[in-house]
Every structure is written in C-alpha cells, then in structure tokens.
Amino acid sequence: MLSKPEDFAALQGEGTVRSHSLLLLRIRWTGLEETRFGLSTGRKLGGAVVRNRVRRRLREALRVMAPSFQPGWDVLIIARSPVVGADFHTLTGVLHSLLRRGGVLGEKTVT
C-alpha cells in the first residue's frame, strides 16, 4: 500500500486519471517490481464507519483481482459519494474496468 506523502504527491503531479461516477483513479508508472495502491475516502462519504466500510470493500475487490496486476504501478483510488450505495458487484466491475483502462490489469501469465 502507498503510505508516504511523497508517493501521493507524485501521483498528483505525474499520474494519469481514469474516472467513473463511483471512483476516480490516479495511475503512475514506477517501474518497481510491485504494484502499490492507496485509498482515499473523504469525509463527504459519511462518518468513520461508512468510510471504513468503503475501504474494506475496495481492499477486498483488489484482493480478488491481485493475480492479474501488472507490476510497476502506483494507483490512488479516490472514492466518490455514490460508492456508499453501490453493491459489491457494481463496485468490483467499475474498479476492474478502470484498472484495465489504465493498464494496471493484464491477462494472467503463466511462467
């Protein structure tokens, strides 16, 4: 996971944006051996319980997609207000679509 302020700042400055009404993704190529994610859930979503639930749902969606990640990306996932009412299947579909459009997801390769 992304945790350092300079990583988030680099995504703000250099990252490309993919958006949907539920989520906004900032994506940046790093060339590292792993793909790292950061989650942003602002107070507009609701109280702490609501924001934590959204983060748990996003982490679970990422866990399911993990085998398909291409290495070398930093991704910041910013939750928008309508994500609170979205079901898990819709959330997963939107996230999958945005990650594929951004180049983070690829076909699973067998080596």
Domain ranges for the chain, please list them.
5-98
Q: Predicted confidence band at 111 (pLDDT cuts at 50, 70, 90)?
A: very low
Q: Predicted confidence band at 108 (pLDDT cuts at 50, 70, 90)?
A: low
- Write the pLDDT tens digit of every residue in 38-67: 999 999 999 999 999 999 999 999 999 999
Pairwise CA distance, residues 21 & 102, whole Å: 16
Q: What is the pTM of this model?
A: 0.91
Pairwise CA distance, residues 85 & 48, whole Å: 16
Check: CB of residue 18 under 8 Å from CB of residue 27. Answer: yes
Q: Would you state the pLDDT for residue 78?
A: 96
**Long-range contacts: 92-97, Cβ < 8 Å, 24+?**
92/61, 92/64, 92/65, 94/20, 94/22, 94/23, 95/23, 95/58, 95/61, 95/62, 95/65, 96/61, 96/65, 97/20
**What's the mean per-residue pLDDT of the chain?**
92
Question: How would you classify residue 44: left for phi > 0, otherwise alpha for psi between -120 and 50, otherwise beta?
Answer: alpha
- CATH architecture of the domain covering 5-98: 2-Layer Sandwich (3.30)
Q: Predicted confidence band at 85 (pLDDT cuts at 50, 70, 90)?
A: very high
- Write the pLDDT tens digit of every residue in 20-44: 999 999 999 999 999 999 999 999 9
Q: Which residue has the higher pLDDT, 107 or 85?
A: 85
Q: Would you state the pLDDT for residue 107?
A: 64
Q: Would you state the pLDDT for residue 14?
A: 86
